[in-house]
Amino acid sequence: MHKIKLNDEVILIAGKDKGSTGTVTKITDIKVVVEGLNIAKKHVKANPNSGVTGGIVDIEMPIAISNVAIYNPKTKKADRVGIRTDKDGNKERFFKSNDDSIV
């Protein structure tokens, strides 16, 4: 079980957007893409056959997973994640600071 999953609310703890929060939209093994953060400008060549217009486009670039932390809405801070089993034997993630389970 991974500590950061798709659609988690995360906060950046390093980089140019440090302190900003966003939602995880894509995950690879070592990188995550966060909605609205780490924006870069990319020059796109026009391709009339596929209907792509050329120009400069803003895209979200991947961030190393070590540079994001899960956001705890109760404390309004970054938090660490633990994994435990509940009463039924299912694994669940929880915030280590206040022992609340992550929904």
Per-residue pLDDT of the chain (103 residues; tens, 9 = 90+): 689 999 999 999 999 999 999 999 999 989 999 999 999 999 999 999 999 999 999 999 999 999 999 999 999 999 999 999 989 999 999 999 998 999 7
Provide the pLDDT for residue 2: 83
User: 13 φ, ψ to 5°?
Assistant: -110, 0
Say how far apart CA 102 and CA 44 lie, in whole Å.
39
pLDDT for the residue 1: 62
Confidence (pTM):
0.81
State the pLDDT at residue 103.
Answer: 78
Strand partners, 19: none
Task: Give me the domains of the chain, ranges plus CATH numbers.
Answer: 9-78 (2.30.30.30)
